[in-house]
Chains A and B, each alone.
Chain A
Amino acid sequence: EDQVTQSPEALRLQEGESSSLNCSYTVSGLRGLFWYRQDPGKGPEFLFTLYSAGEEKEKERLKATLTKKESFLHITAPKPEDSATYLCAVQPNSGYSTLTFGKGTMLLVSP
């Protein structure tokens, strides 16, 4: 069974204080790993897709990296508007229509 574990559950940062979120996964053949952002009361919003170990993707202050067992979402000099829950999901090679999500990391960036 595919599993996704995210840590920490919650993270509080000061504006400008860089940090990383972790996503550990177990999947029978990884087709893709995805990061989503979810604001309170909203649906998840797509950020990145990573396909193979060593791959990196960047968007503004966010950079996602992938190894064979985990992915990191690095947040550089965060701003209060980066506050949200960040969700990690995996897609297996078989039955690839489904995404298995982790519980997310709730990030709060204080000014």
Chain B
Amino acid sequence: GAGVSQTPSNKVTEKGKYVELRCDPISGHTALYWYRQSLGQGPEFLIYFQGTGAADDSGLPNDRFFAVRPEGSVSTLKIQRTERGDSAVYLCASSSPSGGPNTGELFFGEGSRLTVL
């Protein structure tokens, strides 16, 4: 009965480097979401997958951010040329086909804390 798993839990990188953050959703959950949470703020929507395709990527801040979910399960958030302003906790959530978009019931992971020096 594992929940949403995110790795790494902490990542420290230097400005300009490339970073990948991984999310393993709850088995059977077809919907997957990425959110970003800065200190003292609520989560901010980045992207939503239904199956393998990105159904809504309107929250990605710019073209340095990209996410994939090639087999409809594990997802990877990729950040190119990182900037200090990218420092935040990146949260992944998944939901069942009957939840999520219908009920707002998302199951969140513990997040990946990214620090860009």
Contact = CB atoms under 8 A, between A and B. Distances in A.
Nearest to A9: B40
Task: Decide if the interface of chain B is mainly helix, strand, loop or mixed.
Answer: loop
B102 to A, nearest CB: 8
Given A32-B104, A97-B55, A98-B56, A43 B109 contact: yes
Contact of B59 (A42, A46, A89, A98): A98
Contacts of B56: 95, 97-98
Interface string B28-59: 00010100000011111100101000011011
22 contacts: A32-B103, A34-B105, A41-B110, A43-B4, A44-B91, A44-B106, A46-B106, A46-B107, A49-B104, A87-B43, A89-B42, A97-B33, A97-B55, A97-B56, A97-B100, A98-B56, A98-B58, A99-B43, A99-B45, A101-B42, A101-B44, A103-B42
Interface of B: 4, 31, 33, 40-45, 48, 50, 55-56, 58-59, 91, 93, 100-101, 103-111
